[in-house]
A and B are shown apart, each in its own frame.
Chain A
Amino acid sequence: MNKGRKINPKKFEIGQLKIILLILPLVIFMGMPIVFIINHAFKPMEELFAFPPTFFVRRATLENFTKLIRFSNSGGIPLSRYLFNSIVVTLLTVGMALLLTTMSAFALAKIKFKGRNMLTRINQIAIMFVSTAVLIPRYLVICQLGLIDNLLAHVLPLVAMPVALFLVKQFVEQVPDSLLEAAYMDGATDLDVYLKVIMPMIRPAVATASILVFQQVWTNMETSSYFFSDDSMKTLTFYMNTLVNVNNTVAGQGMSAAASLIMFLPNLILFIILQNKVMNTMASSGIK
């Protein structure tokens, strides 16, 4: 009788082995580069240039990382400065984005006001917005606002993220109205409802939004390259990238391997920690 039920099986059956074998090559293809990034970063010099080249590291070492730190300290601006910039920028952006996104999601999903439908529609269209396409006008706007070389130029352009708002809004819509009604009956204001009813219930969506925003900020290079001329205000991503591009020397190889791992790892760790919540949010991600 249970024959038709194949989605999300509770226990392992032989039939699943067929599917695993079928997709395994693809999974390996997709996963291999990641394994490579991790291995590559710990390779000592002779393995980086070994012939034939090796995929896995044999004698793991932290050489590349120490070299990277030493090299950056020999420059005018220490690595710690870029790291500091990146952390401040990332925290500020994620924090601001989460605050503004959840507030608007609450408004769009649960408050009735004139213009709500229009705003929802605009945001839905903006999901398809390709930010690289408007880099020039964005630059002009930043100039006009006098934000060149201002920390905020890293933050503000990435705060409004239509996809994040869309996902959070979909999630807020699932909070039962009866809960909100009850709170209003008890004399709660909209602010109370937002803080005490909505926010505790939408944690998975907040986690998802924070991952999305984090990935955008942490790996963003455009703001550093176009909105900043003062090198001490640029971010770690930017520095790592110049390192990779300029240093095509022998020593540069090891440093870029270390740099790529440093840039990739926070993304991966954050996603592993929050993956359960992300999947939870995605259930309501559909566009109706």
Chain B
Amino acid sequence: MALQANKTEETNKIKTRRKRNKISRRENNWHGWLFIGPYALIFSIFILIPVILAVILSFTNFNAIQFPKFVGFLNYITILTNDAEFMKYVLPNTIIYAVVVGIGGYVLSFLLAWALCNLTKPVRTVFALILYSPSMTTGVAMTVLWKVIFSGDQSGLLNSWLMELGVITEPVIWLTDTRFLLPIVIIIGLWSSMGIGFLSMIAGILNTDASLYEAASIDGVSNRFQEMIYITIPQMKPQMLFAAVMAIVGAFQNGMITSMLVGNPSPGYASQLLVNHIEDYGFLRYEMGYAAAISVVLLLIVQFFSKGADMLLTDKDPYGKKGVEEEDE
């Protein structure tokens, strides 16, 4: 008994030293595996193994019927040197889309979150609900909605409005005109980008320490903008990072809008994004090895940008991640 008490005291000491919020009842409690086991199993089967398979397939030539044939780096070389659509349309489109919807949507959702937090709760709740609702509008609802708005004849909502305003005289066939496809997809992307990351940022701002604002106003921080830069953002970096990751994933995953609105491949590849390119090769041309290689590239790009966001938004101690993490808590 005394020994146990002694041990608890010791662990308590470690706990306070590290400011760790965890139970250290036992060093290695195998029950942990019992609790996480089922999730880990399903995670492995449907996330981990598919990713590994994608990597393996990316080194093969696979048409879904015959056994995959190993081809080395050929698929990756083809992406870089021999895939005209990829270099000419898919890559530039994806970059433009990711920059505008990813970064633009991120900045926008922060500004909106910040604006909402300066309002009273009832107003904030209603506005947040309205802003969040587009991100719930996926699939069928989204397709029908935007097809009606961008309908190519006079009965299209946008055409009718623009003609009434005198901006255009002839109805524009929005969804087949290669000039407008990418901008349309981008607008829809931005429209639906106030998702869970946005909610996280609202919560983050609301949780900032009130006393700091008072202190700052005494120290001469006078306007709301300075307040935002010097006080709000530094306090909510974890939420900023979470929202950034969500924005990045969203920016690269959302290609489905294109397929549903104008089909795959999109007219003239005008709004073809990486995700659509994968679908095109995987399920329309049955070049699954090649599609897998593009998937791997996509996953790597997402990882790369998330790492970047991580480096920008985390105050990491160069001598070890642990040290800062503990101080933060």
Interface residues of A (CB under 8 A from B): 1-12, 15-16, 19-20, 22-23, 26-27, 29-31, 33-34, 36-37, 40, 49-53, 55, 99-101, 103-104, 106-116, 119, 122-123, 125-138, 140-141, 145, 156-157, 159-160, 162-163, 165, 173-174, 177, 180-181, 184, 190, 194, 212, 215, 219, 221, 226, 237, 240-241, 244-245, 256-257, 259-261, 263-264, 267-268, 271-272, 275, 278-283, 285-288
Contact = CB atoms under 8 A, between A and B. Distances in A.
B56 to A, nearest CB: 9
B105 to A, nearest CB: 12
B47 A160 contact: yes
Nearest to B302: A128
B117 interface: yes
Interface string B233-264: 00011111110011011001101100000000
Contacts of A16: 118-120, 123
Interface string B129-144: 1111110111111011
A106 B33 CA distance: 11
Contacts of A261: 141
Contact of B32 (A50, A113, A281): A113
Nearest to A36: B145
Contact of A160 (B43, B131, B191): B43
Contact of B145 (A33, A132, A286): A33
B54 A4 contact: no
B169 interface: no
Nearest to B288: A136
A135 B36 contact: no
A184 B203 contact: no
A240 B221 CA distance: 55
13 contacts: A37-B137, A104-B38, A111-B23, A112-B28, A128-B299, A132-B253, A135-B282, A141-B49, A226-B283, A260-B145, A267-B136, A271-B129, A275-B129
A133 B155 contact: no
Nearest to A126: B47
Contacts of A162: 43, 47
Contact of B148 (A2, A40, A133): A40
A259 B206 contact: no
B22 A112 contact: yes
List the 8 shortest-distance A-B pairs measured between CB atoms, nearest first.
A286-B238, A4-B217, A113-B32, A137-B53, A282-B203, A107-B35, A137-B50, A134-B50
Most buried by A among B50, B191, B241, B253: B50
Interface in B44-59: 45-54, 57
B95 interface: no
B21 interface: yes
Given A112-B32, A282-B199, A285-B239, A244 B45 contact: no
Contacts of A221: 139
Contacts of A11: 120
A128 B303 contact: yes
Interface in B12-50: 21-36, 38-40, 42-43, 45-50
A156 B44 CA distance: 11
Given A12-B120, A31-B131, A133-B295, 6 more contacts: A33-B149, A40-B145, A100-B39, A112-B27, A133-B54, A135-B278
B268 to A, nearest CB: 21
A141 B46 contact: yes
A103 B38 CA distance: 9
Most buried by B among A4, A114, A119: A4
Contact of B199 (A107, A123, A180, A278): A278
B205 to A, nearest CB: 6
B29 A113 contact: yes
A136 B291 contact: yes
Nearest to B297: A133
Contacts of B292: 136-137
B224 A6 contact: yes
B173 interface: no
B227 interface: yes
A106 B35 contact: yes
Contacts of A116: 32
A20 to B, nearest CB: 7
A271 B303 contact: no
B205 A163 contact: no
A134 B51 contact: yes
Interface in B205-246: 205-208, 210, 213-218, 221, 224, 227, 232, 236-242, 245-246
B223 to A, nearest CB: 10
B144 A259 contact: yes
Nearest to B224: A6
A49 B215 CA distance: 60
A264 B238 contact: no
